[in-house]
């Protein structure tokens, strides 16, 4: 595949991926950088300077592809900083990029597992956990709690229906799971012991950007005195404000709305949960209790 075509297709893949959580998508972006390096080498061997410039331009484009998911920007930033010891030879440089990518992917995977291990300390055996949307970190929490007899309540997560994929993964883990509409979160909060979500981005004021509906879950949890935890690798934390990142709006066709005069469908993918509604943040570095 030509380099330009690879860049276009891969950027489109990241922009339109509504099935994976931010952490998984960030690791996919790292992988794409390695593949992009290979594509340059294979199809149009340039000078080292041109190679690095092309690679960094591509990284910048990936960083801008999902503004509401700061882990993508942060992990790619981490990669750029780590690329500080370039070999002279182009083939070696391509391998070097691949190696650094693997190091950071492994670091990220390790952070996900470690975050889940930290989270496990807050979960009583037999607990019922209500989660919204899909998150590789939250699936890892369920994996860590396999011998804890925990149960899950999960949401459809319209319009992308990430809940279907999450249901499959929890079924593979044999976790007893109730699958509900997003609108039923206020009913089922009464059955659960912990509300638990991953993060797309944690803003500088400690508020959480996550799949739309997360804020409603946090409100219901607070109203029922159910703890509401956020579990994610620390790369989800940002020094940015909501104004800096904005909330992505996707194609409204995803809602399959009625086509009518004067009716406009809206599809904002993320909402913001204020820090005051969050019981605690749990990362690979430990537990940060807010209240």
- Residues within the interface to a copy of itself (CB under 8 A): 155-159, 164, 167-168, 170-171, 174-188, 211-213, 215-216, 219-220, 223, 247, 255, 257-258, 260-268, 271
Which one, 104 or 222, has the nearer CB to a copy of itself?
222
CB 154 within 8 A of CB 170: yes
CA distances from 110 to 19, 85, 100, 140, 284 (A): 22, 24, 15, 11, 8
Beta carbon of residue 253, minimum distance to a copy of itself (angstroms, whole number): 12
- Name the β-bridge partners of 230: 197, 281
**Which candidate in 89, 193, 200, 223 is catalytic?**
200
Residue 61 vs 158, nearer CB to a copy of itself = 158
Total number of residues shown for the chain:
291
Q: Smaller CB distance to a copy of itself: residue 111 or 145?
A: 145
Q: Return the H-helix or E-strand segment holding 216.
A: helix 214-223
Q: How far is the CB of 134 from a copy of itself (least distance, A)?
A: 13
Burial of 282 (0-12, 13-18, 19+ CB in 10 A): buried
Exposure string (b/e) for 248-258, b if CB count within 10 Å is 16 or more? bebeeeeeeee
The question of whether 95 is a catalytic residue gets the answer no
* 166 vs 180: CA distance, rounded Å: 12
Least distance to a copy of itself from the beta carbon of 227, Å? 17
**159 preceded by a cis bond (ω within 30 of 0):** yes
By beta-carbon proximity to a copy of itself, the closer residue of 54 and 201 is 201
Least gap, CB of 254 to a copy of itself (angstroms): 9
Residues known to be catalytic: 200
């Amino acid at each position: 595949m030509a380099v330009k075509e690879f860049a276009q297709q891969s950027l489109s893949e990241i922009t339109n991926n509504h099935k994976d959580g931010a952490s998984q998508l960030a690791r996919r972006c790292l992988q794409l950088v390695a593949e992009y390096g290979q594509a340059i080498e294979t199809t149009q061997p340039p000078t080292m300077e041109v190679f690095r410039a092309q690679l960094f331009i591509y990284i910048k484009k990936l960083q801008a592809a999902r503004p509401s998911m700061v882990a993508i920007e942060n992990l790619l930033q981490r990669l750029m900083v780590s690329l500080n010891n370039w070999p002279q030879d182009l083939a070696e440089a391509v391998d070097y990029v691949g190696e650094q990518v693997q190091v950071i992917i492994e670091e990220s995977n390790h952070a996900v597992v470690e975050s889940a291990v930290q989270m496990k300390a807050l979960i009583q055996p037999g607990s019922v956990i209500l989660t919204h949307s899909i998150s590789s970190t939250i699936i890892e929490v369920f994996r860590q709690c396999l011998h804890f007899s925990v149960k899950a309540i999960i949401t459809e997560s319209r319009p992308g229906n990430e809940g279907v994929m999450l249901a499959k993964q929890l079924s593979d883990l044999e976790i007893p799971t109730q699958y509900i509409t997003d609108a039923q979160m206020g009913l089922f909060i009464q059955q659960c012991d912990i509300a638990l979500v991953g993060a797309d981005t944690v803003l500088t004021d400690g508020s959480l950007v996550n799949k739309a509906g997360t804020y409603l879950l946090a409100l219901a949890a607070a109203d029922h005195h159910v703890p509401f935890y956020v579990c994610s690798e620390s790369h989800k934390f940002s020094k940015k404000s909501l104004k800096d990142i904005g909330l992505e709006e996707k194609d409204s066709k995803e809602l399959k709305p009625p086509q009518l005069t004067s009716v406009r469908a809206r599809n904002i993918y993320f909402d913001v949960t204020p820090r005051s509604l969050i019981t605690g943040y749990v990362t690979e570095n430990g537990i940060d209790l807010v209240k």
